[in-house]
Each structure stands twice: as C-alpha cells, then as structure tokens.
Amino acid sequence: MLETAFFIVLAVLTVITAILVIVQRNPVVSAIYLIITLFCLAGIYLLLQAPFIAVIQVLVYAGAIMVLFLFVIMLLNLEKEKKLITRHRLPKVLGILLGIVLLAQLGVLFRSILLEGAQGQFPPEKVAALGNTEVIARLLFTDFLLPFEITSVLLLVAIIGAIVLAKRQI
Amino acid sequence: MVPLSSYLILSAILFSIGVVGFLLRRNLIVLFMSIELMLNAANLAFVAFSRFLHSMDGQIFVFFVMSVAAAEAAVGLAIIMAVFRTKETVNADEVNLMRW
C-alpha cells in the first residue's frame, strides 16, 4: 500500500518535471527540472530494490552530468530563446503526433508483456541477504569483466575527445 | 506490490517526452537533455525487468548505460562548445552547413 503511494507520487513528479524540462525557455531552468526528474527516478530505483543504481543515479547523473550541463550553459552565456520551438508549423504538429503514436505503441506493447521466461538466479530475498552492491560488484568483476574494461577505454577516449574538441588550439 | 506494467508505462511516457522534446526544441543543450531523458527511460525499463525477472543483469546494464551517458555528455557538450565558438549560436536550425 505504502509502496503504491510512493510510486504514484514519484511517477507523477517524474512525468511533470520531465514535461517542464522540454517546455522551459531558459536552459538553466530546464537543467534544474531535469535534476529533479533524475532524483525522482532514483527514488523509483529504490522502490525497485536497486539501491546501488539509485546511488550512482544521484552521483553520476544528478551530480556529475548535470553539473557539466550547467557549467556549459554558464560558459556559453545563453540568452532566453525568443521562440520556444521551430518557426514552421508542420514539424511541430508532426513531432507531437509522432510522440503520441510512439506512446500508444509502447503502451500496447508493454501492456501485453507477460513474464513467462526463466527466472534468474537472484530473487530479492537472496540479493537482500548478500547485499545489492556486493552482488553487482561480484558480477561486474567476473561475468562482465570484459565490458567493464572496455568501459575504461571508452572513458579514456571520451576524456581525450572532449579536450581535443573543446580546446581552442592543441 | 506495484506491477511491472506500471513501471514500463512510466518508462514509455518518459521516453515519449524525450522524443517529443528532441523533435520540437531547437536549442542544442535542451536536445541533449531530451536524450538524457530517453536514456533514463531505458534505464528504468532495465531495472524494472531486472527486479521482476529476478536477475541482476539489468542493473549491470544500467551501470554501463550510465558510463556511456557520461562519456556522451562530455563529448557532446564539447561539440556544442565548438559549434558555439564558430557559429555564435546553439540553435539547431542555424547549424545547417551539412543539411541537404
């Protein structure tokens, strides 16, 4: 009962702030609303018994990525958009139409999903007994070791790429 | 307990909001935020499936998606900086050198 109430509150907040992100003229305000959205999603991850994901959602998304966004907005010293969206009428109508069609399709798809596949080896009680972070760490350093190492290469490439792109002269 | 379909519907709504924002807005930075919204919608679906299928793979995937999102944000914002330096604008309509 309490879980349902928490879910409804968080879901409504998430959707409202997500809509506010895309209708704000000022990108700084958009960024602030996006941070609230990300915090609400972290709460939903807690409801789904994924505390590790919830914490790195706050640390990486709401912390690192959004601070990066805000810094870039401040560096660019943007003024408010005079017109919120594109000049032409047709792309606007088509965009909203496409969004509604996509939502309808996803809704129909997700309503018909039945969980009939084989269940995994980690029921919630076992994860709670072992500790969520420990289970993830164990998997990350055994079964998913290669993707984990590739991630480090990806981050190195991103560091170098960001410096090369953002620097005036190398 | 909240059923799986509620989480998935929430994920679908978030993803659609991201798509609409990406299609309607012309500010490159807001376009980026819309992409982050879509990535988060996918993450939510991953975690929900992970919870209801009793498997940890979804949460590991979310970990990787987040690191890719961090890399993408760093490089993308650097590109926006470079665009702003040459064009003095972040309006996607005015960056049309390679438009057909």
Residue-by-residue DSSP string for A26-61 = SHHHHHHHHHHHHHHHHHHHHHTT-HHHHHHIIIII
With b meaning 16 or more CB within 10 Å and e meaning fewer, what string describes B14-23?
Answer: bbbbbbbbbb
Predicted local confidence at residue A121, as pLDDT? 81
pLDDT in tens, A86-96: 567 787 888 88
Burial A84-113 (b: 16+ CB within 10 A, else e): bbbeeeeebeebeeebeeebeebbeebeee
> Residues of B41-80 as b/e, b for ≥16 C-beta within 10 angstroms?
bbbbbbbbbbbbbbbbbbbbbbbbebbebbbbbbbbbbbb
Check CB contact under 8 Å for A22 and B24: yes
The alpha carbon torsion through A4, A6, A7, A12 (nearest 10 deg) reads 130
Closest-CA residue of B relative to A89 is B24
Which residues from chain A sit within 8 angstroms of residue B20, using beta carbons? 22, 95-96, 98-99
Contact B68 A14 (CB under 8 A): no
Lowest mean pLDDT among A4-18, A66-80, B36-50: A66-80
Average pLDDT in the A66-83 region? 80
Q: What's the pLDDT at A85?
A: 54
Is the ipTM of this structure higher than 0.95?
no
Are the C-beta atoms of residues A85 and A93 closer than 8 Å to each other?
A: no
Residue A12 banded pLDDT, cuts 50, 70, 90: very high
The torsion angles phi and psi of B25, rounded to 5 degrees, stand at -80, 155
Query: Which member of B55, B67, B79 has the closest CB to residue A165?
Result: B79
Sequence-separated (6 or more) residues with CB below 8 Å from residue A100? B16
Per-residue model confidence as pLDDT tens digits over A138-168: 999 999 999 999 999 999 999 999 999 888 7
CA-to-CA distance for A114 and B15, rounded, in angstroms? 21
CB contact under 8 A, A92 and B24: yes
Q: Do A144 and B60 touch (CB under 8 A)?
A: yes
CB–CB contact A113 B24 (8 Å): no
pLDDT band at A43 (very low <50, low <70, confident <90, very high): very high
Decide: pTM greater than 0.95: no
| pLDDT value for A170 | 61
